[in-house]
Amino acid sequence: MMAVERGDAASAYNVGTCYGRGYGVAEDPDKAFEYYMMAAEAGYANAQFQVGNFYYEGRGNVRHDYAAAVRWLEHAYANRSDREDIRAAAELAVCYQNGLGTARDDVRAFGLLHETEARLDDLWELVDAQVLNALGVAYAFGRGTKKRIAHGIGYFDRAIEYGSEEAARNRARFEKSFFGLGGWRMR
């Protein structure tokens, strides 16, 4: 807290994490958001991601606001270092693909999805399911990339393993073609 009082953004982020997870203090998402916001406004990328995530998920007293989420996630994405995680790219991809808080942009969404594709294990289950479904949509429907239905089906199947009902609905739109020997077509 002394470092926060001196304006240290990393410390504000760390205090936010303590409140967000209940480390040494009572868990308090609203206090966490307050400290994350301090660090985010100072340009700290991890805090910018957390602020964007609060708006994306609607945690604590912070209501869903996808436009604010996109704004903060874009800051986090732009300010990340090469070794930082890809969570901002994952959530931004879902926003761009679905037009949440921004205009739908399949090319931008696929670029972000492609970046996250190799690092899916760095995410957490809820986002894994969303990203896997989004990759399925991109490939199966040819949104932002060349249509590769079988590849998309594979992503839907993986998202379904995480319990994604949306992926199950998307998957149900396809069937194996009778003569295609492994080919797929839309119903």
Q: What is the pLDDT of residues 45-92, one digit of tens each?
A: 999 999 999 999 999 999 999 999 999 999 999 998 755 668 899 999
To the nearest 10°, the Cα dihedral for 134, 33, 29, 98?
A: -20
Q: Which of 119, 115, 117 is nearest to 136 (CA)?
A: 117
Q: What is the mean pLDDT of the chain?
A: 90
Share of the chain above pLDDT 70, in %: 93
In the 8-state DSSP scheme, what is residue 64?
Answer: P
User: pLDDT class for 184, splitting at 50, 70, 90?
Assistant: confident
- Mean pLDDT throughout 169-187? 76
What pLDDT sits at residue 179? 56
pLDDT for the residue numbered 2: 77
Beta bridge partners of 174: 186
Is residue 2 packed enough to be buried (19+ CB in 10 Å), middle (13-18) or exposed (0-12)?
Answer: exposed
pLDDT reported for residue 182:
59
Residue with more model confidence, 82 or 152: 152
pLDDT for residue 125 is more than 70: no
- Mark out the alpha helices in 100-184 (DSSP H runs): 106-117, 125-141, 149-161, 165-171
Residue 183: alpha-carbon gap to chain centroid: 31
Supply 131's token pair.
Answer: 């990203």
Residue position matching structure tokens 């760095």: 122
Is residue 122 predicted with pLDDT exceeding 80?
no
pLDDT at position 186 is 77
Q: Which structural domains are found in the chain, ordered by start? A: 1-84 (1.25.40.10), 89-187 (1.25.40.10)
Per-residue pLDDT, 81: 74
Coil, helix or strand for 175?
strand
Give me the pLDDT at residue 160, please: 95
